[in-house]
Amino acid sequence: MTTILSIRDLGKSYAGGFNALKSVTLDVQKGEILALLGPNGAGKTTLISAICGIITPTSGHVTVGGHDIATEFRAARAMIGLVPQEISLEPFETVTNTVRFSRGIFGRPRNDALIEDILRKLSLWDKKDSRMMQLSGGMKRRVLIAKALAHEPRVLFLDEPTAGVDVELRKDMWNIVADLKADGVSIILTTHYIEEAEAIADRIGIINHGELLLVEDKATLMARMGKKRLEVQLGDPITAIPASLARHNLALSTDGMALTYTYDTNAERTGITGLLNDVAAAGLVLSDVQTHQSSLEEIFVGLVSGDTT
């Protein structure tokens, strides 16, 4: 494993003293996809902005490819591609020029074949001579991605890339992310679409109130925090859970047709055998039994619950 991005005790207090980022420490490996999950206002954009030099951190250090963002900003920044949350583009500029210019900013030599390849992958090629102001919101978002890729970054930040984008773009985006990963590019995306993180990330970080609550391998996280549910479908409805089943902590569905039992996947004993015996002994008729593994969403909600922001 090679660490490409190293974040140490990174903090940011905004003017007025609001502490938006609290001592975040994190390493990102070459070719990994890290999803940063957190509710609105958690500090995701602040974290990315501090790494990319858009805001100045109040404390801590960051290196990208070994280059310190404070002392070797240009070298560090040249390795980073950023797809920002907010769209900001020059209205009169054409697609090709916008993307080409972005490459030039980082001192990379002109490479029209590369720009063409990027524009084609993002279905922007037939729009290459259009001006920004002529493009739809979705197309502008595609241009932002093309811009971020134009200088061949080794670390790509996608800040809420799929908030409000169409299915087509989402698909294109995940294809590009897969290609980049195969080339060893690291991708850090922020999202509150948990299914997305669940589908594409290698690791998941959960951030809330400026604190990185945890960073863990997706599979480990799901196994460690996962709960399973067993749903027992009944042949005939019941109005209340029989007293003999009280010790199992069951929930009864509103239609009285199903009992739900929640258990820890890592527990030595799940208690399922005892439960099913007791259900039979209570004279209930089973029509079906299903299990359900808790999703990342439930884990996430569990971690940030009690939160009103």
Ligand X SMILES: Nc1ncnc2c1ncn2[C@@H]1O[C@H](COP(=O)(O)OP(=O)(O)O)[C@@H](O)[C@H]1O
Question: Looking at 3, 9, 14, 302, which residue binds ligand X (CB under 6 A)?
Answer: 14
H or E stretch covering 118: helix 112-121
Question: Looking at 41, 104, 237, 302, which residue binds ligand X (CB under 6 A)?
Answer: 41
Q: Is 38 in the site for ligand X (CB under 6 A)?
A: yes
Question: Looking at 42, 115, 176, 225, which residue binds ligand X (CB under 6 A)?
Answer: 42
Window 84 to 143, contacts with Mg ion (CB under 5 A): 85
Q: Extract the tokens encoding 228.
A: 């399973």
- C-alpha closest to that of 138 among 169, 102, 177, 173: 169
Q: What, of Mg ion, ligand X, none, does residue 41 touch, CB below 5 to 8 Å by kind?
A: ligand X
Q: Is 31 in the site for ligand X (CB under 6 A)?
A: no
Window 85 to 114, contacts with ligand X (CB under 6 A): none
Q: Is 206 in the site for ligand X (CB under 6 A)?
A: no
Closer to Mg ion by CB, 21 or 245: give it: 21
H or E stretch covering 83: strand 80-83
Closer to ligand X by CB, 17 or 107: give it: 17
Name the one range near ligand X by CB under 6 A: 42-50, 109-117, 121-129, 132-140: 42-50
User: What type of residue is 198?
Assistant: E
Q: Is 45 in the site for Mg ion (CB under 5 A)?
A: yes
Minimum distance of Mg ion from residue 43's CB (angstroms):
8
DSSP symbols for 157-194: EEESTTTT--HHHHHHHHHHHHHHHHTT-EEEEEES-H
Q: Beta partners for 29?
A: 3
The answer to whether the beta carbons of residues 177 and 196 sit under 8 Å apart is: no
Q: Is 40 in the site for ligand X (CB under 6 A)?
A: yes
Name the one range near ligand X by CB under 6 A: 24-32, 44-52, 76-84, 254-262: 44-52
By CB under 5 A, how many residues form the interface with Mg ion? 3
Cα-flanking dihedrals φ and ψ of residue 287, to 5°? -110, -25
> Residue 195 CB: number of other CB atoms within 10 A?
11
Helix (H, G, I), strand (E, B), or coil: what is residue 217? Answer: strand
Which residues of this protein are in contact with ligand X, per CB under 6 A? 14, 18, 20, 38, 40-46
